[in-house]
């Protein structure tokens, strides 16, 4: 079973000056979340398989109603061809 690293960015579109929150999730192939870790700051290198974003101003992933996948984000790993 393969594990994926997912970055979730929690933003607030109504107050854009508020700092974003970053969560690192580890999920399996089915999409089940195995672990969740809050990051102190924005990651510097591209090490994530997927990047998702919520802009409703929620503080945790449990409070989010929906999140959007961001394709070709700068923190997403490049696909090997």
pLDDT in tens, 31-46: 899 999 999 999 999 9
Fill in the DSSP letter of residue 58: -
pLDDT of 1: 74
Question: Does this model's pTM top 0.95?
Answer: no
pLDDT at residue 79 is higher than 90: no
> Is 25 inside any structural domain?
yes
Average predicted confidence (pLDDT) for the chain: 92
> Is 74 inside any structural domain?
no
**What integer is the mean pLDDT of 18-32?**
93
Name the domain count of the chain.
1
Share of the chain above pLDDT 70, in %: 99
60: closest CA among 25, 16, 30?
A: 25
Q: Which domain covers residue 20, as residue numbers?
A: 4-69
- Give the sign of the dihedral formed by CA 43, CA 46, CA 47, CA 53: positive
> Is 79 inside any structural domain?
no
């Amino acid at each position: 079973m393969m594990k994926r690293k997912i970055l979730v960015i929690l933003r607030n579109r109504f107050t854009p000056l508020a700092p974003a929150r970053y969560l690192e999730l580890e999920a399996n192939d089915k999409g089940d979340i195995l672990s969740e870790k809050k990051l102190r700051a924005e990651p510097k290198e591209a090490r994530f398989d997927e990047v998702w974003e919520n802009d409703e101003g929620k503080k945790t992933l449990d409070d989010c109603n929906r999140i959007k996948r961001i394709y070709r984000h700068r923190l997403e790993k490049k696909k090997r061809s």
